[in-house]
Every structure is written in C-alpha cells, then in structure tokens.
Amino acid sequence: MSAIRTRFAPSPTGYMHIGNLRTALYAYLVAKKDPDGVFILRIEDTDQGRLVEGATDIIYETLKQCHLDHDEGPDVGGPVGPYVQSDRVKSGLYMQYAKELIRLGGAHYCFCDEDMIEAQREVQEARGESFKYDDPCLRLSAEECEQRIANGEKFVIRQTIPTGGTTSFDDEVFGRITVDNETLDESVLMKSDGFPTYNFANVIDDHLMGITDVVRGMEYLSSTPKYNLIYQAFNWNIPRYIHCPPVMKDEHQKLSKRNGDASFQDLVAKGYLPEAILNYIALLGWSPEDNKEIFTLKELTQAFNVKHIGTSGAIFDIVKLTSINGIWLRNMNLDDYYALIKPYIDQAVKKDLDKKAIAAVVQQRADTLNEIPGMLDFFDTFPAYTNDMYVNKKMKTTEEIALQALKHAREKLALEDDWSQEHLHEVMMEMPKDLGMKNGQVLFPLRLAISGKQFTPGGAIEIANILGKEETLHRLDVSIAQLEK
C-alpha cells in the first residue's frame, strides 16, 4: 500500500471560511492517520476574476496558527510542484492534457458563443428538463476544428459525456452513488483565455500529485461522476472520495461570509483560540466514538475516523464554541495563560497591581479573551452602584444585613498586617461565625462593597488581596457611608 496523500486546495478569494478550514482539518487528519501520510497545500487560482490580494497569505497564516503543517506546497516546495495552478498553466500542462482527452474521445473543441448555449438552456429548463447542451461542434471533424483554430477563431474545450448509461462511484460518507449520464452537462474544461476550469484542473492535479484521498464538501458530489469520466478516459486510478456535509448557519442556510457569518479570522479577533476553534469545528459533522469533546490536534489525529462523518449539515453554535474555548483557557498552565492575556489586562488595569494574581482569578471565569478587559475595569476605578444590589434572595442578604457585615469586616481587616491571600482567607472565613451568619451573607456584600459590581472574576478574598489593604479599607468606608445614608 502506498502512503496516503491528501490535499487542501483553497482559492485565494478572501478570508478563511469555517467550512474551508474544516475541510483542511479533515484532509490533514486523514493524511496524518497514516504514519507516512502526506498533506499537501495547493493554491487553486485559475478563476482570476475572483482573486483577492493578500488572500494567499491568509491561507498560509491560518494553517500556521492551527498547526496544520503541510508537507508540500508553494511555500515549502515538493517533488510534484509547482503547487500554484496559475504557475502550472504557464507550462501548457492543462492544454496538453485537454488535447489528449479530445484524442481519447472524452472532450471536444467548442466554437459556439454563449448566447447560443443560453438559448438552449432556457428552452430545456422551460420544459422542466436538466440542461444538456446539444453542441453542434461535436459533429465537426478534427480537421475542421484545426482549421478553425488556425483561422484564429476563439474556442473552449468542453467535456464529452456519453449519451447513455450510468456512472457510479463510492464515497466514504454517502456510500454508492449512481447517476444517469444523460443528466450530466458537458462542462467547459479549458476556457478561451487558456485557463482550465476547476472541473478539469483539479482532476489533472490530483492525478499528477498522487492524491489518494480527496476530502471536500458535499456540493461536489454532483460533479464527481464527470470527474470520474475524465479519470476513466485517461485510464487513471480514481481516488477515495470523502465528501463532507456543509457547516450550517441554521437549518436552512449554509454558513457564509456573504451572510455576515464569522470567518476564522473574525473568531480569532473576537478572542477565540485557534486550537479551540479547530477542536470545535472537528465536531461539526464528525462524532468521536466516545462522548469526549476536548481534543488536541494530536488526539484528533488518533481518534478521527471518516466512517463517523455524518451526512447531515451541522449547525455552527457560537455558544458551544464559547464553552469549548473557556475550557481550553482554563486548562492552560498559569504562566502560559498570563503571557497570553497580559495585553488584555493592561487594557483595563493601569494601576501597579499584581497582574499575575488578576490572571489567576480571571482564568476561572473568562470564556473568551475579549471579555477580559470588561471584567477588570473596577480595579482602576471604583464604580458607582446602588444599595439595592445588596438585596439577594439566594444569598439571604438585605441592606441591613450587608451594613452589619461590612462594619464588622472593616473593623477586623483594619487590624491585619498580613495581607496575603492565605491569611485573608482565614480572617474572612471567621467573620460569618463571629456574626452568626451564613458565609454568603458576609462575603457577598463584602465583594460588592469593594468592587461595586454584581459579578466579578474573583471573590472578596482574591479582590481584597489584589487591591491591597489601603484601597480595600477606603472602598469599605465609601460603601458603609453609602448604606448608612
């Protein structure tokens, strides 16, 4: 058995869509499941009108951020390059194979204008028929075609589809698929500008690059019989097909940048980790054998099995992604986490406080990086708040209970010289016992009194430790005076 070779073949037309990134991930996993497997990056830029400047760099950067390291590609080279289709066009490669396909009976020259083609399309569709172009060029001899070309007539090369019979193929996800040849339209393979269409270039390149397993979206299922007819005409081996269901916005719409849906770059900008995004999108359409949800890339490589890819579209759930991202953040060791989020802390906290201690309390509560600054603004500026925030049924607190608890806390804390978190824990946990109250009846008002916020990324103990004794006592004085009014 030869080594598995897969490819990710994006078009540089903009941002990295979530569906495209999932295709890259699955192609990577299929290759790396084989110890000798090869993952290839190929840039498909034959549709020159849709190219976006800088999009190729986005592809490189996204794969790098996600650690989907390709073994061969435009930037790393390889034995079957060039890996950019426009570079392959310059060598005359595709035209050479297109002319050979004509000789084999799998394609033909077409000198017909688009108006003639569209007229036939309208007639057939009005009858409720699948479009099948009746190409008069099929009746031209080879000599007539050569003469027209010599006379400077513009031409395209179209695929020739058998008039009868069926074409079948096997897909790892969707099983055996058979179509009637009469339902297949005769696609253009080479355009008049000398560039191949996707339908032709991907077959030629997959064969010449030795691709054994083709991973792509299920939107290509309907075109696969036509690709197979090209393989068969050349007497080439047909690769194993793995067509993946779409990533959906909801039950009816595919996820699409055109609809304003987030790309990979958008999600990173919103504070999601590349590793968490990759983890989540692996689960969009694929189910692991157990109920495990958190996977490193190495663990995904071990667990991935194409037989567990579903046939239904998977709905992208930002809430689920946020949950998985939070787990990834909480699983980091504190040093790495602090290095990652320090710029976010610096946005909100200008005072000279222990920012690593702040990171430690934030780590247990923040699910995305972008929410961190908004959690920490109270460290620099004590916000105004209303006394009714002390009333909490769950904590069994009222304004009167809060005032009693805060006065006692102020008195006790003023006596302490050891302001370490460990000592503050001992002191504060004694306060409810002193007052004959529940823990929440003392610690909840205390946290509110020194933060001014209903929800904070740490409890009273951690916040007091970070603020320091002087600021803690000052805020208690302000809050007690406000309650006494």
The two structure tokens encoding residue 257:
């940048």
Could you tell me if 136 and 113 are in contact, meaning their C-beta atoms sit under 8 angstroms apart? no
Q: Which of 203, 218, 210 is nearest to 107 (CA)?
A: 203
Active-site residue, from 99, 132, 257, 469:
257
The two structure tokens encoding residue 140:
């031209």
Q: Which residue has the tokens 């650690």?
A: 67
CA distances to 23, 247, 278, 307 from 285, in Å: 11, 8, 13, 11
How far apart (Å, rounded) are the C-alpha atoms in residues 369 and 254?
27
Could you tell me if 94 and 204 are in contact, meaning their C-beta atoms sit under 8 angstroms apart? yes
User: Angle at which helices 274-282 and 318-330 pack, to 10 degrees?
Assistant: 130
Could you tell me if 83 and 73 are in contact, meaning their C-beta atoms sit under 8 angstroms apart? yes
How far apart (Å, rounded) are the C-alpha atoms in residues 429 and 325?
33
Could you tell me if 25 and 295 are in contact, meaning their C-beta atoms sit under 8 angstroms apart? no
Could you tell me if 42 and 207 are in contact, meaning their C-beta atoms sit under 8 angstroms apart? no
Residue at 322: amino acid letter: T
The two structure tokens encoding residue 345:
């802390």
257 is an active site residue = yes
Active site residues: 257
